[in-house]
Amino acid sequence: MDALVTGHAGYIGGVLADQLVENGHNVIGFDRTADAGDDIRDRDRVEEVITTKELDIVYHLAADADVWVDDWPYLLENNVVGTANVAAATAEADIPLVFASSVAASGEFNRYGRSKNLAEQAVSEYDNVTTVRFPNVAGRGAPRGQAQDMIQEALSGDIEVWDNGNIRRSYIDVRDLASALIDIGTNAYTVRTPSSIFAHTVTNLELGESIQTVVAEETDTEPTLSLVDRTPPSPRTLTAAEWCLQNPIPLKESLRSQVQAALNDTGSA
């Protein structure tokens, strides 16, 4: 299978590209952080690459995934217009497209969620698109997210658990997510679109306690854990409910790989 991965230089895109290669597939990357010319906002460049390559599938993961970004014109141009460019080019070339959306698109709880919701609407008219809503992704060198924030706090000595531990989120290991996306691309199974995928759903107190345990095991020093009455920028409950993986990587194993990656980064700094 010949696959184009937008965002291949990113966290999830990088793991997906690696797994595709490990499974014997050919991968073409498209990411402006690797090549400034490969920008999903450049419609002509997107069309040029997609229409001139012999592709079996396109995975569209390129986006700004930081929920704290407040620059609406940028989010609109990058996450919405960029996605529309990719979808239009794949539809014209009759190539299947797997679009990486977010569970945040289901309620438009912040500007990032609104951008993903609009991107879903932008691709909804194309029959070649499968939209997969990602939950929180854990494991390895995660660059951001609730788990990563707690891991950094734990390595500094104290974990802050917001909203007194009442926040509830769904998680999936980045390796499990990449494997599921490959299964879609190889037609191992099909899913309804849009469909949210997840492996575990926990409260942030449960997450914090797991991180506390893992960090203690990995560093021989147990961080403290504090409940904090602080409201998150999104709802207390933001979970996936449709597509639950069978026999997923245990969440504690995902967190352990993430802690180890953070420790390696600290050691090399």
Q: What is the pLDDT of residues 226-264, one digit of tens each?
A: 999 998 878 889 999 899 999 999 999 999 999 999 999
| 143 and 49 together in one domain | no
HSE (side-chain half, CA atoms, 13 Å) at 165: 10
* pLDDT over threshold 50, residue 269: no
Same domain for 75 and 152? no
- pLDDT tier at 98 (50, 70, 90 boundaries)? very high
- pLDDT higher at 114 or 234: 114
Same domain, 129 and 147: no
Q: Rounded distance, CA 25 to CA 93, Å? A: 20
172-196 in b/e form (b: 16+ CB < 10 A) is bbbbbbbbbbbebbeeeeebebbbb
| Of 84, 109, 134, the domain-final residue | 134
Position 110 in a domain? yes
Domain count, the chain: 2
Q: Where in the sequence is the domain holding 262, given as residue range(s)?
A: 137-171+200-240+247-269
Provide the 10 A C-beta neighbour count for residue 36.
8
Q: Are residues 72 and 162 in the same domain?
A: no
Q: What's the pLDDT tens digit per position in 175-232?
A: 999 999 999 999 988 889 999 999 999 999 999 999 999 999 999 999 999 999 998 8
| Model pLDDT, residue 108 | 64
Whole-model pTM: value is 0.95
